């Protein structure tokens, strides 16, 4: 027998699915009681996106997300299924409309995995998982900013694989084995560790990377990044008004002539993400607006590679990029709206790898608006 109920407290977030500091679900979602199969919650997500940019001039209106998040998050065996349309806007990259993004990347079910919870300390997840590495998550509404950043663009997003999780007191550990950039070759491993220093502060380290060469080269599985090693050091601080999260990132791609990588590549990056909460974050229940001001500043540089090569991980050998993004945000109950201004400035680009109609410009400005609901 199916039993339906509305306005029931939503179950807690599944492992790996993170929401950042400026947006949140209402805490109330429709649920379905499937008796022996347990209670499942259904959280709708619907967002629209519009933007204008320079170099090249462009403007677009699109569905950002039209999804259902379906989960069973009680008992020893738990499930998470994300289904629907999505776009993933990225700083300095051409915008891809949601239908094309969905069909050409992770499909209409971008994440789906099961988690076995052994006890309060140990759990194991397997399936189509959020990838380990980096700070930002993939989908717009999960993050402080609408667009993904320069450092995120060097990390994988979704992987088939498994992850073992351990937590006790202030320590959280995880190990993963997966297919990296969605390559269907299970040759990536990684680990992460985070420690809660006190009620306001956390630190973390992570490493994930390829253990063998993989010659696959598609837009979804780029040759260079899919053969990389990714290291991150992260810190976060949260007070009543401020959220502050700086992190460092390094990627290394070793020479592997057998698969066509003839030079070593490295990136070095640093980012600071902040959010100032004006009001509403300490209110409970509906009828209260949350207003905040997220800001992100990033720098990344590329070392290695060969001039004139078609292979590059940034804008050519010894290129670098700096970005600034500001995203004033308001959320009222299930509804939210946020505007975003961003600029990317590249330095020392190889000819043909800049911005603009002739790939000769060094800066790109973008104004973006996202409105929607998170139930």
Is the model's pLDDT at 155 over the cut of 80? yes
136-155 residues labelled b (16+ CB within 10 A) or e (exposed): bbbbbbbbbbbbbbbbbbbb
The pLDDT assigned to 26 comes to: 85
* Contact (CB, 8 A) for 323 and 365: no
Q: Per-residue confidence at 327, pLDDT binned at 50, 70, 90?
A: very high
Give me the domain span that covers residue 199. 3-374
The pLDDT assigned to 16 comes to: 64
Average pLDDT over residues 264-291: 86
89-109 confidence digits (pLDDT tens) = 999 999 999 999 999 999 999
Average pLDDT over residues 216-241: 95
The pLDDT assigned to 359 comes to: 87
* Contact (CB, 8 A) for 263 and 253: no
Q: How many domains does the chain have?
A: 1
52-66 confidence digits (pLDDT tens) = 999 999 999 999 999
With a pLDDT cut of 70, the percent of the chain lying above it is 93
The pLDDT assigned to 284 comes to: 54
191-223 confidence digits (pLDDT tens) = 999 999 999 999 999 999 999 999 999 989 999
* Contact (CB, 8 A) for 213 and 258: yes
Average pLDDT over residues 359-374: 96
Cα–Cα distance measured from residue 269 to residue 247, given in angstroms and rounded to the nearest whole number: 9
Is the model's pLDDT at 71 over the cut of 70? yes
The pLDDT assigned to 15 comes to: 60
The pLDDT assigned to 14 comes to: 66
CATH number, domain at 114? 2.40.160.10
pTM of the model: 0.92
Q: Average pLDDT over the chain, rounded to whole? A: 92
The pLDDT assigned to 10 comes to: 39
Is the model's pLDDT at 158 over the cut of 70? yes
Q: Which residue's structure tokens are 């810190």?
A: 235
């Amino acid at each position: 027998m199916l039993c339906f109920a509305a306005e029931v407290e939503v179950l807690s977030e599944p492992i790996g699915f993170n929401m950042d500091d400026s947006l949140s679900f209402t805490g109330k979602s429709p649920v379905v009681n499937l008796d022996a199969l347990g209670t499942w919650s259904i959280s709708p997500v619907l967002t629209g996106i519009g933007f204008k940019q320079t170099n090249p001039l462009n403007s677009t209106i699109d569905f950002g997300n039209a999804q259902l998040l379906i989960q069973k998050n009680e008992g020893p065996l738990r499930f998470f299924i994300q289904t629907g349309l999505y776009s993933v806007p990225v700083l300095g990259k051409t915008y891809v409309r949601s239908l094309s993004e969905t069909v050409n990347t992770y499909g209409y079910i971008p994440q789906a995995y099961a988690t076995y919870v052994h006890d309060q300390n140990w759990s194991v997840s397997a399936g189509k998982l959020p990838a380990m590495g980096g700070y930002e998550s993939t989908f717009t509404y999960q993050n402080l900013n609408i667009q993904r950043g320069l450092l995120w663009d060097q990390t994988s997003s979704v992987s088939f694989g498994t992850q073992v999780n351990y937590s006790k007191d202030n320590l959280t550990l995880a190990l993963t084995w997966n297919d990296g950039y969605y390559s269907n070759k299970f040759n990536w491993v990684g680990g992460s560790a985070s420690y809660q220093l006190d009620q306001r502060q956390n630190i973390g380290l992570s490493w994930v990377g390829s253990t063998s060469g993989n010659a696959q080269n598609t837009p979804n599985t780029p040759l260079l990044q899919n053969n990389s090693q990714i290291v991150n050091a992260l810190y976060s601080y949260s007070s009543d008004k401020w959220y502050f999260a700086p992190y460092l990132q390094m990627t290394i791609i070793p020479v592997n002539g057998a698969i066509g990588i003839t030079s070593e590549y490295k990136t070095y990056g640093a980012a600071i993400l902040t959010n100032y909460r004006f009001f509403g974050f300490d209110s409970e229940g509906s009828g209260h607006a949350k207003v905040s001001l997220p800001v992100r500043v990033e720098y990344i540089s590329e070392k290695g590679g060969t001039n004139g090569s078609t292979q590059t991980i940034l804008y050519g050998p010894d290129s670098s990029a700096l970005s600034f993004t500001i995203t004033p945000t308001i959320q009222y109950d299930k509804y939210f709206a946020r505007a975003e201004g961003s600029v990317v400035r590249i330095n020392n680009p190889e000819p043909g790898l800049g911005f603009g109609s002739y790939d000769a410009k060094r800066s790109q400005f973008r104004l973006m608006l996202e409105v929607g609901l998170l139930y």
